[in-house]
Amino acid sequence: MAAQPYDQPEPRRPEPRRPEPRTEPRRPEPRPGPDDPYGQQPPQRSRSQDTRTLGNQETIISDAPRRSRRRGSGQPPEPPGPPTKKDGDGRGGWRRFVPSWKIVVAGAVVLAAGLFGMIMVAYANTPVPTSAQSEATAQQSTIYYRDGKNVIAQLGFKREIVPFARMDEDVRNAAVAIENKTFWEDSGISISGMARSVWMTATGQQLQGASTITQQMARGYYDGLSQEVSIQRKVKEIFVAVKLDETMSKEDILSTYLNTINFGRAYGVEAAAKAYFPGKKVTAAKLTPEQGAYLAARIQQPNWDHNSAALQERFKQVINNMAELWPEKYGNLPQTAKFPKTLASAGNDDLGGLNGYMVEEVLNELEGRGLTVDEIKSGGYKIVSTFDKKLMKAAQTAVKSTMQAYGMSTEFHGGLAAVNPKNGRVLAFYGGDDFLTDPWNEPFQSTKQAASAFKPYVLAAWLQAGYSLKSYVPGNQTVPKELPGQQAGGIKNSHNVGVSVDVVKATAASVNTAYVSMAYALPGRLDDVKNLVEAAGFDQKRMEQDVEEHHFQFAIGSALVTPVEQAAGYSIFANGGKYTKYHVVQEVKQNGKVAYPEQAVAKTVVDPGVAADATVAMQAVLQAGGTAAGKGLGTRPAAGKTGTNNDEKEAWFVGYTPQVSTAVGFYREQCVTKTGKVVPPQHSNCPITRKGSKKYDGNNPYTSVKEVSLGFEGAGPPTIAWQKFMQLAHESLPVEQFPDRAEVGVPENIVPSPTPTPTPTPEDENPFGSDNPFDDGSDDCLIGCDDNDVTIPDDDVNVDDGTDDDFGNSDPNDVGLAGQGSVPEPRSSGTQPRATRPEDQ
């Protein structure tokens, strides 16, 4: 715009610095005219350039009022000066980057409005939950026998929802005093509580939850509010709490809270009162101020012990808060209140007698599957066990009557376990008479050397490797004579069986030298046996450790096993080579639906023909000439194996029919003081303390355990107890036959057959029916000359049962549910060397 002329022009200023030349074309400079002393009059446009001609005055006219440029009357404006850099009104330096306070305020208002809007939208879209969590309506759980009808035990306390009026005022006030002082005034949340929580948590003083009673009730009762730690969950919880405070009365909120909160032993104030305080008439409506304060103190940490030091400190805090909030009622309580008397446990929960042992095994199995004891006690589960009520009593009767008949004192310990070989279910066991006084469960917890009852697994590995029952094995000394891990003087037998014996006779007479030599002759030696027993459910760590420590004594039973492992392990012989991991739970239901199904996956450990032939050898144990002759089940087919450890410290019998596999084991322990005095056990346990003395405790026990000789072998009381139980167990069962002898494998003679060469022992012949067990009066004959002898080619040894889970064809590290390890691959005959340990002396 051209400059405007003034009335009295001022003297001209020096020419300002000219701007840099512009790249675009410029208009021609105007020439000075007579009325334009400064030469700044704009040029007149011709009509060819515009439709009208404007005068100089018209160029400064606008529609809006003009602000004068003059600083004073008749004075033109001065050019702008430089900006003030310091202590002036300018915004030079860093100040030019700072927004004005108006912008800051405006931005804060916009941001606050946006956040408020977002919160209101989220609040409006947050529904109040209508369905309750399962924990909020927790019920006691019931454990049944395998019929699903007869009850073993009920766990936890039955939830009893009581109205607000039936909750003692003291317990209501105590909960408010310790959990939410402003409960009756707040809107469901506490801003001051949240701030205090943040500060105390940040400074490490105490971990604070900052949740009001309304928030805790919402989180613990309504479905959809998880327990996860997240901002999203916390915000949702706050919204729900505010809405609940608007829609529910304070009385209803507190009532719901006290009926659902976890107090440790029970959910809900009514059940908690009965769980912690003595007396049959205790209810939530009849609590003292101290009892109410005790229950309120448990809310923060429900898992505290019933009289722990931390709980007592929390109890004092509840009392002080009650006095602070209601001084007219509880003002003197801090001086008079005493920590209330409480029950040491939540009651027996039907754990007396045999019940406790069954309950404990059920809880242990379910805990291994992720279901905790607390969840069981409050989850309202229907748990069907595998235990048979009649057989549990039969097991107790069989063992106790045998111990009484033999005059055994409390130093003697007996354990029995019976398993259904077809599905791995533990049908019955005996491990003690009263769980409350003696909670040690013999068949599940006592690990003892298996002795000769371990030999059938060597036999199974032998047959699986392609060798037959007709093989001749050493009778008087091992082959080779010296083996790793052998006892001083070598591994020997308790009786003379001759230089050579076939595998059936070696099993019936429990010949140590034969079985150690058989293990040495296996293609994989001890690894074949170890892999097989791990596949049959035995603890892998124990098996590996024993092989490392005892070497070839492993083949004759140096490994530590439990009766229930043995009963389940023999299932591979009773069930055609298949093993199912033993278990005690059939089914767990909640609200009518199956929550935890039965775990019963069968795996093939050995071929069916191997199981059949091994059974033939073990039937001979119960027949004339066998170590347990005359102690079978009459006309009902049965098979098994005795076992007696060195010095008769452990004695076993493990036997089976197609329907039941049972293991019985005995051992004896004396309680000896440091001076050598033998003290009687207390409830089968060696005493740790001495009455009237403070000298002894867990670190300095009064007595120690010393295992001593039983004075009998496996063919004695263990076999008698087994026979008694099996007769009772099969009273209502039909007679089932074992499979016919399969004649798997080919003979593998570790030693030459005796001279004159006997024929292999028929399955129905007395193994030692003559003075010379190897001379039956027949003509000399080599192996295989008998018309009845059947030789199965190597390719036919591994019988395919149509499954894909045969351990013999699987990765040895893939143990699955059936056990740990794999079985040896079958092979053609051929002698290969191996190693052993001592046994039945």
Question: What DSSP string describes 30-98?
Answer: PPP-TT-TTS-PPPPPPTTT-SS---TGGGG--SSPPPP--SBTTBPPPPP-PPP-SSSSS--GGGGGS
Spatial distance between the Cα atoms of 686 and 274, rounded to a whole number of angstroms? 35
Percent of the chain with pLDDT over 70: 69
Q: Say what the pLDDT of residue 132 is.
A: 53
Least confident of 63-67, 230-234, 257-261, 834-838: 834-838
Q: Which tens digits make up the pLDDT trace of 390-442? A: 999 999 999 999 999 999 999 999 999 999 999 999 999 999 999 999 999 99
Closest Cα partner for 673 from 684, 686, 664? 686
Does the pLDDT value for residue 75 go beyond 90?
no
Q: How confident is the model at residue 757 (pLDDT cuts 50, 70, 90)?
A: low
CA distances from 197 to 98, 118, 178, 233, 237 (A): 36, 25, 14, 17, 16
Q: Say what the pLDDT of residue 211 is.
A: 79
Residues 6+ apart with CB under 8 A from 673: 679, 702, 703
Does the pLDDT value for residue 830 go beyond 70?
no
Tell me, rounded to whole angstroms, the distance of Cα 244 from its chain centroid.
37
Residues 6+ apart with CB under 8 A from 519: 458, 461, 525, 526, 528, 529, 552, 554, 555, 834, 835, 836
Spatial distance between the Cα atoms of 731 and 33, rounded to a whole number of angstroms? 141
Give exposure, 691-708, as e/b (b: 16+ Cβ within 10 Å). Answer: eeeeeeeeeebbbeeebe
**Structure tokens, 269:** 């104030």
Q: Say what the pLDDT of residue 39 is.
A: 45
For the chain, percent helix, then strand, then coil, each to nearest 5? 35, 10, 55
Separation of first and last alpha carbons in the chain: 128
CA distances from 366 to 348, 353, 362, 597, 762 (A): 20, 22, 6, 11, 48
Does the pLDDT value for residue 840 go beyond 50?
no
**Structure tokens, 756:** 């004159």
Element (H, E) at 291: helix 289-298
Q: Say what the pLDDT of residue 158 is.
A: 75
Span 121-126, average pLDDT? 54
Please tell me what DSSP assigns to residue 786: S
Percent of the chain with pLDDT over 90: 56
Q: What is the 3-state secondary structure (H, E, C) of 542-608?
A: HHHHHHHHHHHHHHHCCCEECHHHHHHHCHHHHCCCEEECCECEEEEEECCEEEECCCCCEEECCCH
Closest Cα partner for 158 from 247, 236, 73, 272? 272
> Would you say the C-alpha torsion 753, 759, 764, 766 has a positive or negative sign?
negative
Q: Helix or strand or coil: residue 27?
A: coil
Q: Say what the pLDDT of residue 165 is.
A: 94
Report angle CA 141, 147, 152 to the nearest 5 degrees.
Answer: 40
Please tell me what DSSP assigns to residue 753: P
Task: Name beta bridge partners: 706.
Answer: 670
Considering the entire predicted model, what is its pTM? 0.65
Q: Which tens digits make up the pLDDT trace of 435-464? A: 999 999 999 999 999 999 999 999 999 999
Q: Say what the pLDDT of residue 488 is.
A: 82
- Tell me what the pLDDT averaged over the chain comes to: 79
Least confident of 227-236, 286-295, 419-428, 708-717: 227-236
